[in-house]
A and B are shown apart, each in its own frame.
Chain A
Amino acid sequence: MSFAIETVGLTHYYSKGTVSQVAAIDNVNLQINKGELAGIIGHTGSGKSTLISHFNGLLKPDSGKVIVDGVDIWKDKETLKNSRFKVGLCFQYPEYQLFEETVYKDIAFGPKNMKLSENEIKERVLRAAEFTGVKAEHLNKSPFDLSGGEKRRVAIAGVMSMQPEVLIFDEPAAGLDPRGRADLINLIKNYRNQTGSTVIIVSHSMEDIAEMADRVIVMNKSSVAMQGSVDEVYSKGDELRSMGLNVPEITEIFAKLRSKGIDVPANVYTVEQGAEILRNLMERRSEE
């Protein structure tokens, strides 16, 4: 079975050929399995965004290969073009890419570029709008009349409507309030569960990744430093800290509780998980 995305010795330099040449990503060998929800985490400047810009061929590797569904995307022009539709990339603050007169037209931009039939486009737009919770009455409005959170949903729908096999989100929750963030995380989870597509989340928020990802990939200094399940990666707090990352706040609180002799598990990474454990603990104590 081929991987959804595989990179082989992927290397990309910035300011190539000048004195300030630096490797943005250096010899990255990575496999993303089909149907998984992978989280890529790393501090600012660790090469996360450069890495994902290679997945749909926006950046050309200086050496190495990007293999999508078993095919090298740089094989020929046609393959490259198709990789844009196979791998949907939703950038940070995607709402700034809206441009059409109506929400409907903006969501339809991607499918239109795929040269699909009018009916197929309509079906995809409505489906994507439903997934992202864009209200039907908004479809004929100008996207610029919507609120910030609604704009972001429209922009995400614009990428989803291409029905890519792999959907990548770069900092999807950036700049959202807690409610917006929770909604968005649910949206992504639902999308994955209902379509079974591969999803990659890029973030520097340990909490967001812990809540969504099946597998975590840690980027540090232009290459992959660690990968594994959330438990495996998040249990290495010291290593994460040395890479400018940190375990989630809730994990730290639980570590402090443990050091005070309270019997709580160490592998608590989300607030929901933590709240549940504390509630149980309190109930147990009141019974005693």
Chain B
Amino acid sequence: MIRDITIGQYYPGKSVLHNLDPRIKLIATFWLIVVIFLCKSFFSLGLITLTAVAAAALSKVPPKMILKSLKPIVIILVFTAILNIFYTQGGETYFEWWKITITEKGINTAIFTMVRIVTLVVISSLLTYTTTPTMLTDALERILSPLKVFKIKVHTLAMMMTLALRFIPTLIEEIDRIMNAQKARGADLETGSIFQRTKALVPIFIPLMVSSFRRAYELAFAMTCRCYTGGEGRTRMKQMKIAARDIVAIVVCTAVTAGVIVLNIFFDAVI
């Protein structure tokens, strides 16, 4: 039941994508996402989709896993497709009945938006499939470290994120346990009006809050015992180094961006 929720979907592997510097991966992902939104024609979108597919193949993550990451957005996909088909008008009319008209432009926009969303999800899930949450927050800390100039505690924020991610599975387990305990006392969590069901969550959330605070205190204490004083003077066991493959990744991103811009100029815009 609640245990089946997977967050932090790292897929262990040794592919080129896994070995890329997490900083570069993070930057490249955001870069490519911006490029997706620069696409105006089917050809430029095709180029970036192709890039995404190539990256997926390079990552050696099974296609089944990548398709699984698309499952939660199926409803959004269908919804946007329907909206686009009915509300975008123009070009040849294929179908007309009562107030519904389906046009060439409507269908094109629907397909375009769907491919765009799918590519977006594939690219971002590739990042989480090939990078552990710890590596990600580490990378984020490094990328954001210039913000220290503005007295923003980047290290503390990154540590908070790491800890939050670390405790998600623990909390899920805890919820599961508390739910079972209250169900054993006859708590009814599944039936009744929304109001009743919300009220039924009180016996779950109060013990959860109590134990979360307890855990937080224990963790803080354990960290203090190991002389944790924050980011200052802290060194790392795993140093991040930019390698040749990272430079290749950046070059590929630049090339794709250039390609998209050129294809945008030479072919008709869909939207």
Please report A residues at the B interface, Cβ cutoff 8 Å. Answer: 53, 56, 58, 81, 84-85, 88-91, 94, 96-99, 109-110, 113-114, 144, 158-159, 162
Asked if B156 CB lies within 8 Å of chain A CBs, one says no
Are B183 and A84 touching (Cβ within 8 A)?
Answer: yes
Q: Which positions 209-259 of chain B face chain A at CB distance < 8 Å?
A: 210-211
Partner of A91, one of B180, B203, B206: B180
B210 surroundings in chain A (CB, below 8 A):
96, 99, 144
B160 surroundings in chain A (CB, below 8 A):
none
Stretch at the interface among B22-30, B49-57, B88-96, B184-192: B184-192
Asked if B16 CB lies within 8 Å of chain A CBs, one says no
B178 surroundings in chain A (CB, below 8 A):
96-97
6 contacts between A and B (CB under 8 A): A85-B186, A89-B184, A90-B184, A97-B181, A97-B203, A99-B202
Please report B residues at the A interface, Cβ cutoff 8 Å. Answer: 177-178, 180-188, 202-203, 206-207, 210-211
Interface of chain A, main secondary structure: helix
Partner of A114, one of B180, B182, B186: B186
Report the minimum CB–CB distance from A3 to chain B (whole Å): 21
Are B207 and A96 touching (Cβ within 8 A)?
Answer: yes
A53 surroundings in chain B (CB, below 8 A):
180
Are B186 and A94 touching (Cβ within 8 A)?
Answer: no
With A91-B177, A91-B180, A94-B181 in contact, do A99 and B186 touch (Cβ < 8 Å)? no
Report the minimum CB–CB distance from A114 to chain B (whole Å): 6
**Complex Cα spacing A167 to B180, Å:** 15
**Complex Cα spacing A110 to B187, Å:** 8
With A96-B178, A99-B202 in contact, do A162 and B207 touch (Cβ < 8 Å)? no
Report the minimum CB–CB distance from A267 to chain B (whole Å): 36
5 A-B pairs besides A96-B210, A159-B185, A162-B186 with CB distance below 8 A are A96-B177, A97-B207, A99-B202, A114-B186, A162-B185
Top 4 closest A-B pairs, CB basis? Answer: A113-B186, A99-B206, A97-B181, A89-B184
B206 surroundings in chain A (CB, below 8 A):
99
Return the chain A residue nearest B188 by Cβ: A113
Return the chain A residue nearest B183 by Cβ: A58
Are B203 and A109 touching (Cβ within 8 A)?
Answer: yes
Return the chain A residue nearest B210 by Cβ: A144
Are B211 and A96 touching (Cβ within 8 A)?
Answer: yes
Report the minimum CB–CB distance from A124 to chain B (whole Å): 13
